[in-house]
Structure 1
Amino acid sequence: MNSELRRYDDVKVGDELPALAVPITVQLIAGGAIATRDYFPGHMDKDAAQELGSPHVFMNILTTNGLVQRFVEGWAGGPGAPLRDLKIKLGAPNYPGDTMTFSGSVTDKRDADRSVEVTLKGKNQYGSHVTGTVRVGLA
C-alpha cells in the first residue's frame, strides 16, 4: 500500500493506476466468505461447488468488493483517502490457482469535493471478473 496520501492537485484524468495481481487461493476464497458471513457451500466446499456445476470453490462478491477497495485505496494512499462510492459488476468467476489482475484509470475529477473517479477491471484467465467505478476523496 502507498504510505503517502495521493494529492488531488497531482492527479489528472487519464492517469493509470499501477496494476495489482492478486493470486486466487482456496484460503482467500473461503476466508473471505467466512469473514463476510457468507456460508454458502460453493465458497468453501469443493464437492458442493462441483455439485453446482462449478469446477472448484468460487469467490463471493463481498470478497471481490474488498479487493476492489484494496486496489483503489492502495493507489490513493490508504484509509486517509475515503471511498465515497463504489459500483461493481461481476463477470467470470474467480477460482483457486488463477490470478486476478486489476487495472484502472482516473476517469473524472470533481473540484467541489476533491474526489476522483477510478474506472477499473479485474481480469483472470476467463475474462473480466469485476468491472466498475470507485469515487475516492483525495487530500
Structure 2
Amino acid sequence: MTSKNSKRFDDVRPGEALPELAIPITVLLINSGAIATRDYFPGHHDKDAAQQLGSPHVFMNILTTSGLAQRFVEDWAGPAVRFKDLKIKLGAPNYPGDTMTFSGEVVRTDAASRTVEVALKGKNSMGSHVTGSATLVMP
C-alpha cells in the first residue's frame, strides 16, 4: 500500500536504502497481471501451455513486473512523486510458489531539477528477476 506521506527532495540523500518489499508470487498474481495488461500469451495463464514451452509453470509478464517495480518505489517515495523514467531488465522468471523481494538505493540526486535516481532489484530463489532504475521528480 502506498504511504500517505510523500518524501521531499530535501530529505533524500544518495546511498539511502529503500525498505525491502517481499511479494509472494502466486498463480492469481501472474494470471491477473497478464489479463489486466491484455497479455493473453498462454504461458502467463495456462500451465500446460507453459510446460510445452519448457517452463515448469506459468510465468510473470514484463508489464506486471514493471507495475510491481513502480509500486516498490512509490511505496517509499509517496503519492506526490512523479515518475520521469522507469527502466527495467528481466532476468530469472517469476514462478508461482516463490517470493520476489525488492531492494533499492538512491544513487543520484539533482537539486536543479529536484530529480532522484533510484537503483532497484527484485530477487527470487533463482536470482535477479528484475534490475533497473527509476528517475523521480520529488516535491
Superposed structure 1 runs of 4+ greater than 2 Å apart:
none
Secondary structure of 2:60's match?
A: coil
Q: Deviations over 1:111-137 (max 9, x none)?
A: 122110000100000000000000011
Question: What is the aligned partner in structure 2 of residue 118 from structure 1?
Answer: 118
For residues 3-82 of structure 1, what are the structure 2 equivalents within 5 Å? 3-78=4-79, 80-82=80-82
Distance (whole Å) between structure 2 residues aligned to residue 95 and residue 17 of structure 1 = 25
Question: What is the aligned partner in structure 2 of residue 108 from structure 1?
Answer: 108
Q: Deviations over 1:49-96 (max 9, x none)?
A: 000000000000000000000000110012x20110011000000000
Distance (whole Å) between structure 1 residues aligned to residue 72 and residue 119 of structure 2 = 11
What percentage of aligned pairs have identical amino acids? 67
Q: What is the Cα-based RMSD across aligned positions, in Å?
A: 0.6
Distance (whole Å) between structure 2 residues aligned to residue 8 and residue 73 of structure 1 = 14
2:85 paired with 1:85: yes
Which sections of structure 2, spanning at least 5 residues, go unmatched?
A: none
TM-score when normalising by structure 2: 0.98
Partner letter of residue 67 of structure 1? L
Distance (whole Å) between structure 1 residues aligned to residue 113 and residue 81 of structure 2 = 12
Partner letter of residue 77 of structure 1? G
